[in-house]
Amino acid sequence: MKRGTCKHFYGCDKPCGKGHDIREVVGEEDTGWLLRIPCITIAAGNMSGSQRSHWNRRVSCVDYTEPTEAEITEFDADMEAHLKRLAAVKPLIKKIKEDAAEDAMGETKCPVCDNTLRWSISSFNGHVWMKCSTQGCVSVVE
């Protein structure tokens, strides 16, 4: 969540938090449609003349809502905490991958909060799933 981006925006490939199909909202031709979305109001970087022309024809959305400074601060803090938890379990994920030759699951002590951390690994794709029993702590789905 950041300044200049609607707080309902989760990406162009899915409906927003208000249920709008962003491609339908934009309408018109496919070329440059990503530059015409109403969800982002601060341009990132330099644009070519053609890109600028699409940008200048951005559509509007009745539900565009700028996040408050408090929401941005809370989001950033949540993201930072999430990244710290990920960094804390990264060695554990690596070890599980090294040790598991087939489908496996187990429990271990959560490196973040010491509670029970359940995990499993798929022999099909080698992806690890992990969830701490503490609400809001580690949750990994590769």
Kindly list the residues in this chain that would bind Zn ion in the complex (CB under 5 A): 110, 112-113, 115, 132, 134, 137-138
Which CB, 25 or 110, lies closer to Zn ion? 110
Which CB, 60 or 135, lies closer to Zn ion? 135
Query: Closest approach of Cβ 108 to Zn ion, in Å?
Result: 11
Which CB, 125 or 135, lies closer to Zn ion? 135
Query: Closest approach of Cβ 133 to Zn ion, in Å?
Result: 7
Closest among 7, 78, 73, 77 to 40, alpha carbons compared: 7
Query: Closest approach of Cβ 88 to Zn ion, in Å?
Result: 9
> For the purposes of burial, counting CB atoms within 10 Å of the CB of 113, is it exposed (0-12), middle (13-18) or buried (19 or more)?
middle
- Phi, psi angles (nearest 5°) of residue 109: -80, 130
DSSP category for residue 125? T
